[in-house]
Structure 1
Amino acid sequence: MKFTRSAKFALAAAASAALAVSLLTPAQAATRSTVILHETNSITGLNCSLSATNSTTCSAVSYLQGAGFNYYNNKKELVKNTVFGSYKVVKNTATDFRTQWTVNPGRVWSDGTPITGEDLLLSHVLSSDAYSKAAGLGDPTDKKTPPAFNGLGYSGVYANNIVGEPVLSADKMTVTLQFKKKIANWDLYGPGPAAVHTLVLMAEGKDKLGTVAENEAARDRFVKAFKDKDTALLKKMGDIWSKDYTITTVDSKTNPLLLVGNGGFQIDSAVAKTSVTLKKNPKYNSGPALSGSVDTVVFKFIGDGTAAAQALANGELDVYAGQATADGVAKLKAIKNVNVVGKDEVAYEHWDLHYDTVPDEAPYTGLFSVKDGAKSKALRQAFLLALPRDEIMQKLIAPINGVSTPIQSTWLAPGSAAYDKLIAANGSSFYSRGTQESRNKSALALVQKYYPNALKSPLKVRVLVPGNNPRRASEFALAKANMAKVGFDLVGDVRTDWPSKLGNSDYDAYFFAWVASSVTQRQSAEIFDTNGGNNILGYSNKAVDAIIATLDAPMSESLLLAKYIQIERLTNADAITIGVFIHPGVVAVNKDLKNVKPGPLSPTIVWNYWEWSY
C-alpha cells in the first residue's frame, strides 16, 4: 500500500477572477457536458509514483486516465473491474503462493494499441529491488544513488516476497506471479497496465503517436529488453519515466506519447497552477461504461476558500472539496442549487520531526538529528509535548464537526474497532496526560536540561508550512505561540510547492496530512519502515522494521493489534510524529450533477466518474 500526501490545502489564488470559466446560465446548465472540480492544490506532475509528484491531485487526475484490475468504492470496499480483466489465486501453499492476472481481449490504449499481458510487466521493474539490481538499473536501497526508475514502489511487500520474475502466458494475455508465502491483501499487489510502447518510443527520441504496428513493435522491444535485462534501453526508459512526466503545463507542444492512457478521459490541456482539462477518451473500454452526458472534466485550482465558494455560487464550479472551516461551511450551505454533504475522511493531520538524512537529500544535521543522541530525543519529546493540540482542536476543528479530542494514533483512526485498545497501550499518553500547562512544564524541563537559557535565547525550529491555507496558517500560529513558552522559536517557510520539499534537510519539522489510498494490514508501514516509500523523516528503527516485515502475512485481528501497539510504543518513544485531527470532510455539489458519491480513500471525489451525469 502507498499513501499519498494530502493535497487538500489552499494555494495562492486571491480571488475567483482567476477562473477562466464563464458564468453558466440556466439554459447552458440544462445541456451541460462539462464537470468542473475544485482542487486546492495544483497538479504536481503526471506520474504520481515519484516522491516530488505524489499528491492527491495527481492521483485524482491520473485515476481518470487509467484503469486496472480493481478500484475502491465509497465504502472502502475493493471492487473487481471485470471489464478490464480478472485475477485469482492459482496456488496456495506455505512456501508457494501464486496469483494470476488476465487482461480481457479487445482492451485498447487511447492511441488504439491493444492492451496485453506484456503491458503488465513494467510493474515488476518498478517494484522489484532484485530485478532493478540484476538489470543494472541501480539498488533502490542505496541512499546516495537513485535507481533508473526512481519511484516509490520499491522495498515493499512485493519486493520482499516475489519469487523470480512474472511468467507470461503463451497468448501473452496473462501474467502469473509467485510469492514465497501467502500475502495478506494479495489482490492489491498485482500488476497494473502501463503503455510501455510509449516509453520505448520516447526513449528512442520519438515525439509523435505511432501506428498500431509501430507501437506493437516497440512493445516487443520492451519485452525483449525486460527478458534480456537490456540495461541500456531500460535505463533510457527509466529516465523518461522519472523525469519527463514532471510537467504541469500541457499544450500543443507537449509530446502526445506522455498522455496515452486507458481511462475514460485523457488530458487535453493543463495550465500550471491554474487548471487541468480532460476530454473523453473515444477508445475507452477498460472500465465501467461512461454515463454518456459528461465529455469534459476540468480541475480548477483555487486556494482561497472564499473565492472557491463564490465560484461555486456563480456556477463556475460544479464540485467544491476543500479544507473546511466553520465560516466556509456556513457559506456553502447558503448557496442555492448546491447540495452540501459531509464525507468520511481518512486524511489525518500530523506533525513530524526530522530524524536523519533522507535519500537524495543533503545531510540533515539540525536540531532533532538522531546523531545527537539523548539530547535530540529530549528536544523531540519537548516539541511534541508543547504542540498545543487541544487548542488546535477547540479553535479550528470543533466549530466544524464538534470533535475536540486530538487523535492518539497514526495507525488507526477513532471509531475503528480496536482504536481504544490501541491508544490505551501505545505510549501516546506521554504526550496527552495532564493539561497543556503541565505538559509545557515538562517540555521546558527537557529543553533546559541541555539549553538552560532557552527562554532568553530560544532554539530556532525550521518548519515547512503549506502555503496560503487559512486553517494551516492558524494552526502554525497557535503552535508558534505555545512553543515560545518552552524555548522553541518556530520559523515558518510558507510554500505552495511544499509536497516537493518534504524530506528536505532545510527543515526540522513538517505538518500536513496523509490520506490512505487502500485498506491493508500494513496501514502506515511505508511511513515508518526504513526503506518505506513515504519515509520522509529518515526514520530508522530496526525493531520497527522487524515488526513491519511480519505484517505481510494473514493474521488474526488480535495479533495484528498487538503488532500495531508494539510499533507505536517504539515510534512514540522515539518522538518522531504526533497526530492532531482527522480532516473534517465537506463536499458541495451542483444539484444538477448526479451520482457524485465522495469516498474516503484517494482519489475521493472521482472514484466513480463514469456514473456522473447531468
Structure 2
Amino acid sequence: MKHKRLLATAAVVAAGALVFSGCTPPRESEIVKGSSITVADTDQYFAFNDGLADTNSAWNANINYLTKSGWYYYDGTPELQKREGFGTYEKLSDDPLKVKWTVNEGVKWADGAQVDAADMLLGWASGTTHRQDGEGTVDEESGELTGQTGTFWNTGAQEGYGFDLVSEVPEISDDGRSVTLTYDSPYVDWELASPLAPVSAHGTVELAYPDEYPENNADAAKKAKDALIKAVQDNDLEFLAPVSQVFNQGYKFSKSVKVAEGDPQPLELLGFGAYNIVEVNLDEGYTTLKANPLDTWDEPTQFETITVRAIADIADQITAIQNKEIQIAAGQPTSDITSTLTAGVPGVEFAGAPQGTYEHIDLQVGNGGPFDPATYGGDAEKALKVRQAFLKTIPRQEILDKLVIPNQPDAVLRNSQIFIPGTEGAKAAEEVNGYAELTEPDIEGAKKLLAEAGVTGPVTVRFLSSLRQARVDTYNLWEKYATEAGFVLQQLPDDQRQTWSTVVFNNPTAYDATLFAWVSESLAVGESAANYQGVEGPSGTDGAGANNPYGWYSQDLNDVFDKLSGEFDPAAQQDLQVEAEKLIGEQAWSVPLYQWPGIVVWSDAVEGVKPGFLSPNYFWNYWEWKPVGSSTATPAS
C-alpha cells in the first residue's frame, strides 16, 4: 500500500509568472462506442473525497483523478501541463501575493451545476484553520473517525501554512466563476495551491441539510451554493458544522454503491471530469466508471467504460493480464517477474520506470510506547537513545540487495527524506542527516545505546505494515537483528494490517513503528512540511502536519519549513531543506529505505499506456489509452 503526501501543492515557478490560460471551444467526443477496459490497482477504492487525513491513499486518488478535472496535471516526465479548457489562473501581484482563479463557463458538475466560486470557497474554508473550531472523535479500537465536535474538516490544515496564509475570505467575481486569494505573506507553492474543493459545494450542503433540499435540481443547487457562500463569508460555524461533517464523513463507502442506467448521478458521486463512477463494489473489489457526457473541457477520452480492480500483488495482476481479465497492471516487481517479462510473454508489453515513491520506517514518539519520552518520566534524551538504538538494527543494505537490486541493478539506498537519490540536494543532505551511517546493522552500537539509556530487558515494539509481500520480506530480514540487539518486534494482527492506513493515522496508540511508502503528488518545494511539522502534545494532537500522526515536534524544524514556504531562491531553498534534513535525522524519528522500482505492464490489445513518475502513476494519461482493433475487455460484473 502506498500513501500519498496530502499537502503536495506545487512546482517552483518564477516570481514574475503571470497568467496561464486560454479558452478552447467544446470538442467532439472521441469515445469508441461500446469500448471498455479493466485495469488494476493495489487496493480497493473507498472515498470520493481523498483530500482528508484518513482517505489520502494513492488508489483513492487514482480513481478520483478520472472523475475530477482542474487547471493542470503532471505528465510522465514529470512536467506541469495546463488544462486551458478548464479555466485560468493569474498572479495579480507579488506584494501582497494575490492570485485569481477562474473556472470557464460551461465546466459543470455531473448534475449540470456550474463549477464556480462556491466550490472554491469550500476549498478555502476546508483547507484553513480560519473556519474550524472543533475536532474529530475516533473509535479507540478500530481507529476510525466516527464523529466530531463543532466545525471540523479533517484536512490537516496547519496554522500559518499554505491556505492558512489567506486569512481573509477570498473575493468573488461578479460572474461568480472567479475568486481572488490574498496571501498574508509570500508563498512559494502558490501555483498549485488550487482553491477548488474535491467535492461539490451544493451537494455537500444538500446532504448536510436534506430537509431543506428535498429535490436535487438547479434551484436547489443555487440555493445551496448561496447558503455556503454566506456561511463562509459570515464565519457561521454553526451552519458549517454539519457541512464539514458531510465533507469528511459523507463521501466514504462502507457498503457497495451502484448507479442504475439512466439514473442521475447521486450527490455523493458528483464529479466534474472525464468519467462518472457508476459502481463501487466492495464485496468483489472493483470500481466502474463511464464517460461523462457533459465533459467538454478535458482531453477527449477513448474508452467508454473503465473498471479498476483491486489486486494487491503485481504477480496476480500480470496473471490477470495473461488471462485477459485486465489490460493494465503496475507495481513493485520481483526478480522472477522481471526475468519472466524480459524473456517475453505473448500478448504482454511492459516498461520499467522509476517512481516518485519511497519506502521508509517511522517511529511513534507520543503514544506512551518505547520511543516516547513520557515512558521514561519525560526524559527526552533516554527516549532518543532508544530510538537511535532501534534504527541501528535495520539491515538497510541487505533489504536493498535482496528486494530491489534484482529488479533494478543500479538502485541505491535512499539517504534523504526530502530529495530524490542522485540529486545535489540528496548529496548535501546525506552529509548531515546521519542515514549513511545506518547502512548495515550495528548490534553492538544498539546495545551500547540501550545501556547508556539504562534500559534493561527486551524492548517490545509493536510493528505495523501492510500484508504486501515486500513488507513481509523486509520484516523477515530485519527481525533477527532487532532480537539480537534487545528488541522484540511484535507484528500487529492481520485485520489491523489489512486496514493499516486507518490505524496509522487514526489510532497511534496501537503501534510503535510502521513501514510504508510515501507517494509524491508534485514537485512542490514545501511538499515534505506536512510530514514533519508538529505541535506539542501526544500523537494525534490537532494542528500537526497532515502526515504526522506520530507526535513529532520540533519548533526549530517548524520554523525552517515556515521559512521555506516563503523562499523563492532555489539555492536558499536547498539550504533550508538540508537544514530540515539535519534536524529530522537528529531526532531519530524515521529512516528512508529505497526508491521504489516501478513497472507498468499492459496487454497488446491496448495502446497509449505510459508510466508516470508522480501520483496518479500510469493513470496520468488515461485519455490516450485506446483499444487496438476490437480487442477490448468486459468490465467486472
Q: In the alignment, is the contact (CA less than 8 A) between 1:71 and 1:81 conserved in 2? A: yes
- Take 1:249 and 1:280, find their aligned partners in 2: how far apart are those partners? 23
Alignment of 1:493-508 (within 5 A): 493=492, 494=494, 495-503=497-505, 504-508=508-512
The amino acid across from 2:295 in the alignment is Y
Equivalent of residue 178 in structure 1, options 170, 182, 189 = 182
Q: Would you say 1:267 and 2:274 are equivalent positions?
A: no
| CA distance 1:33–1:176, change in 2 (3 Å) | same
Q: Secondary structure at the match of 1:343?
A: strand
Equivalent of residue 449 in structure 2, options 427, 430, 446 = 446
**Superposition deviation, residue 87 in structure 1:** 0.6
Equivalent of residue 335 in structure 2, options 307, 326, 329 = 326
| CA distance 1:33–1:75, change in 2 (3 Å) | same
| Aligned residue in 1 for 2:142 | none
Instruction: State the identity %.
Output: 27
How does the TM-score come out when normalised to structure 1? Answer: 0.87
**Superposition deviation, residue 208 in structure 1:** 7.9
| CA distance 1:153–1:318, change in 2 (3 Å) | farther
Q: In the alignment, is the contact (CA less than 8 A) between 2:314 and 2:329 conserved in 1? A: no
Equivalent of residue 278 in structure 1, options 286, 289, 292 = 289
- Take 1:498 and 1:277, find their aligned partners in 2: how far apart are those partners? 25
Q: In the alignment, is the contact (CA less than 8 A) between 2:408 and 2:597 conserved in 1? A: yes
| Aligned residue in 2 for 1:15 | none
Q: For structure 2, which runs of at least 5 residues remain unmatched after alignment?
A: 7-31, 138-147, 535-543, 628-637
**Superposition deviation, residue 261 in structure 1:** 0.8
- Take 2:423 and 2:500, find their aligned partners in 1: how far apart are those partners? 30
**Superposition deviation, residue 430 in structure 1:** 3.9
| CA distance 1:383–1:516, change in 2 (3 Å) | same
The amino acid across from 2:274 in the alignment is G
**Superposition deviation, residue 239 in structure 1:** 1.2
Q: Would you say 1:72 and 2:74 are equivalent positions?
A: yes
- Take 1:341 and 1:199, find their aligned partners in 2: how far apart are those partners? 41
Q: Secondary structure at the match of 2:443?
A: helix
| CA distance 1:253–1:498, change in 2 (3 Å) | same
Post-superposition CA distance 1:453-499 (Å, at most 9, x none): 54xxx2211000212x2111110111112111101110111411111
**Superposition deviation, residue 163 in structure 1:** 3.8
- Take 2:551 and 2:149, find their aligned partners in 1: how far apart are those partners? 16
The amino acid across from 1:103 in the alignment is V
Q: Would you say 1:470 and 2:469 are equivalent positions?
A: yes
| Aligned residue in 1 for 2:14 | none
Post-superposition CA distance 1:139-177 (Å, at most 9, x none): 99xxx9684222234446324421411000111111111
Q: Would you say 1:402 and 2:409 are equivalent positions?
A: yes
| CA distance 1:31–1:222, change in 2 (3 Å) | closer
Q: In the alignment, is the contact (CA less than 8 A) between 1:525 and 1:532 conserved in 2? A: yes
| Aligned residue in 2 for 1:241 | 247
| CA distance 1:453–1:189, change in 2 (3 Å) | closer
| Aligned residue in 1 for 2:383 | 376
Q: Secondary structure at the match of 1:115?
A: coil
Equivalent of residue 192 in structure 1, options 193, 196, 212 = 196
| Aligned residue in 1 for 2:89 | 87
Equivalent of residue 412 in structure 1, options 419, 423, 427 = 419
Q: In the alignment, is the contact (CA less than 8 A) between 1:45 and 1:248 conserved in 2? A: no
| Aligned residue in 2 for 1:595 | 608
| CA distance 1:246–1:519, change in 2 (3 Å) | same
**Superposition deviation, residue 445 in structure 1:** 1.1
Q: Would you say 1:572 and 2:598 are equivalent positions?
A: no
Post-superposition CA distance 1:109-158 (Å, at most 9, x none): 1111122223211111111212324xxx5699xxx968422223444632
| CA distance 1:465–1:176, change in 2 (3 Å) | same
**Superposition deviation, residue 181 in structure 1:** 2.9
Equivalent of residue 205 in structure 1, options 210, 216, 232 = 210
Q: Would you say 1:53 and 2:38 are equivalent positions?
A: no
| Aligned residue in 2 for 1:489 | 488
Q: In the alignment, is the contact (CA less than 8 A) between 1:337 and 1:591 conserved in 2? A: yes
- Take 2:364 and 2:608, find their aligned partners in 1: how far apart are those partners? 43
Q: Would you say 1:355 and 2:368 are equivalent positions?
A: no
- Take 2:455 and 2:423, find their aligned partners in 1: how far apart are those partners? 43
Q: In the alignment, is the contact (CA less than 8 A) between 1:309 and 1:332 conserved in 2? A: no
| Aligned residue in 2 for 1:13 | none
Q: In the alignment, is the contact (CA less than 8 A) between 2:564 and 2:577 conserved in 1? A: no
- Take 2:525 and 2:354, find their aligned partners in 1: how far apart are those partners? 20
The amino acid across from 1:588 in the alignment is V
Q: Secondary structure at the match of 1:381?
A: helix
Aligned residues: 565
- Take 1:421 and 1:349, find their aligned partners in 2: how far apart are those partners? 20
How does the TM-score come out when normalised to structure 2? Answer: 0.84
RMSD over aligned Cα, in angstroms? 2.5
Of stretches 190-199 and 312-321 in structure 1, the one that deviates more from structure 2 is 190-199
| Aligned residue in 2 for 1:97 | 97
Alignment of 1:291-310 (within 5 A): 293-310=302-319
Equivalent of residue 560 in structure 1, options 573, 576, 586 = 573
| CA distance 1:139–1:498, change in 2 (3 Å) | closer
The amino acid across from 2:398 in the alignment is E
Q: In the alignment, is the contact (CA less than 8 A) between 1:126 and 1:154 conserved in 2? A: no
- Take 2:122 and 2:3, find their aligned partners in 1: how far apart are those partners? 21
| Aligned residue in 2 for 1:391 | 398
- Take 1:74 and 1:269, find their aligned partners in 2: how far apart are those partners? 28
